[in-house]
Structure 1
Amino acid sequence: MVIKEKDALKITGENPRGGKGTIYNYRYLDKDEISTPLKGFYVNELLPGSEIGYHEHIDDEEFYYILSGKGIVNDNGKEMEIGPGDLIYTPFKEGHGLKNTGDEPIKFAAFIVEG
């Protein structure tokens, strides 16, 4: 199966996870379309000045792979700069948030896996 970028469902989110600003989610696959514990595969664009609010993953874990842009991740209360090529891994029962501190969107692939 091949899913073209033009065929991914674009969803606009405001104030993601209690943060601020705008995020564009491109849904390539959702849990109902996958036969594994993967809950979804998305490519996201967090616009400049926007942030995903800090949140915990109680029954799943999440991976963000940064494709472009730069920002600051809150990884369980520890903040650090991120950029292209970085992987943010949030295991079960841990939390994270993401701020775009740059002049371009942070584009990242997100994988969510059931616990």
Structure 2
Amino acid sequence: MAVFHVNQIKGTEFPAGRLTKVIAGPGAPAEPDHFVMGQVTIYPDGEIPVHHHEQEEIYYIAKGTGICELDGQQHPIVQGSYIHIPSQSHHYLKNTGEDEMIMLFCYAPKGTVEHWQQELNLVGGNE
């Protein structure tokens, strides 16, 4: 058994206005065999752009308010909301509040989702 703290993780700043910290998964202090988990701080007016992937996923909103879109349908979200995202579903999350949104995600099977690198490449002019 090991105990970690999320403040030990530097994370990745994304151009769409968020900081993502993988707390369990590839390259994280804890590396479970079957899933990935992380914490995302979405800044006011920031977002996770529309994307989809093989992994089934859950978003849990620990703090904040916003809009989630799942396969073209928009849903208001508040602290305590959670969203089940089936495999290959197009989804999007935007912070519409005045404060930071804190979201936890968990997806399986374990792997790296491609949309992170795609977003970073677009800003760098590589795509």
| TM norm. shorter chain > 0.5 | yes
How many residues of Structure 1 are paired with residues of Structure 2 in the alignment? 107
Greater share of residues in strand? 1
Q: Distance in 2 between matches of 1:52 and 1:35?
A: 24
TM-score, with normalisation over the residues of structure 2? 0.76
Partner of 1:18: none
CA contact (8 A) 2:24 2:32 kept: no
Matched, 1:46 2:47: no
Amino acid at match of 2:48: I
TM-score, with normalisation over the residues of structure 1? 0.84
CA contact (8 A) 2:25 2:32 kept: no
Q: Distance in 2 between matches of 1:93 and 1:26?
A: 23
Report the aligned-residue RMSD: 1.6
Matched, 1:74 2:69: yes
Structure 2, gaps ≥5 residues long: 111-127
Amino acid at match of 1:4: H
Aligned match of 2:57 in 52, 55, 62?
Answer: 62
CA contact (8 A) 2:64 2:100 kept: yes
Q: Distance in 1 between matches of 2:96 and 2:32?
A: 37
Partner of 1:10: 11
Q: Distance in 2 between matches of 1:27 and 1:56?
A: 18
Structure 1, gaps ≥5 residues long: 16-21
Q: Percent identity?
A: 23
Amino acid at match of 1:11: T
Deviation string 1:64-83 (CA, Å, 9 cap, x unpaired) is 10000000000111101001
Aligned residue for 1:31, secondary structure, equals coil
CA contact (8 A) 1:51 1:97 kept: yes
CA contact (8 A) 1:71 1:99 kept: yes
